[in-house]
Amino acid sequence: MSRPTFIRQVTSSTTYHPDGSVDTTKDPAVWTLAHRGYSGGGRLDVWVYPTKAVALREGAALAMACGLDEDEQAVKLFKAKRYDQVMERYEATHPDTHLLRVQPAFLQYPD
């Protein structure tokens, strides 16, 4: 069984110039899911996933396990595989101290 590659080239910056040209920079990164909720005394838990799609799916599943399974709108979004919107719903329906996000963590290499 082959293991997934976790380090990917991810867009780290995009510059739009007045002449209409666009410069995009990609750097090595891993996709992370960050969660802070009721459990853990306010700690921030971070998981690493091989792709953004997998991280979003797992984040949405975590949101459902954290009570959104009783939210009719969230259930519809989850069934429709609108995982990013499920996670947005989690943050919209929970206190400001709660967090559920997927984002890249860029690797820093010493010079």
Ramachandran assignment for 16, one of left (phi > 0), alpha (psi -120 to 50 degrees), beta (any other): beta
Does 78 score more than 70 pLDDT?
yes
Q: Is the pLDDT of residue 63 over 70?
A: yes
Could you tell me how far CA 79 lies from the centroid of its own chain? 18
Mean pLDDT of 16-44: 92
Domain ranges of the chain: 8-106
How many Å apart are CA 102 and CA 32, to the nearest integer? Answer: 6
pLDDT band at 39 (very low <50, low <70, confident <90, very high): confident
pLDDT tens string 85-111: 999 999 999 988 889 999 999 998 877
pLDDT class for 20, splitting at 50, 70, 90? very high
Selection from 87, 92, 85 nearest residue 35 by Cα: 87
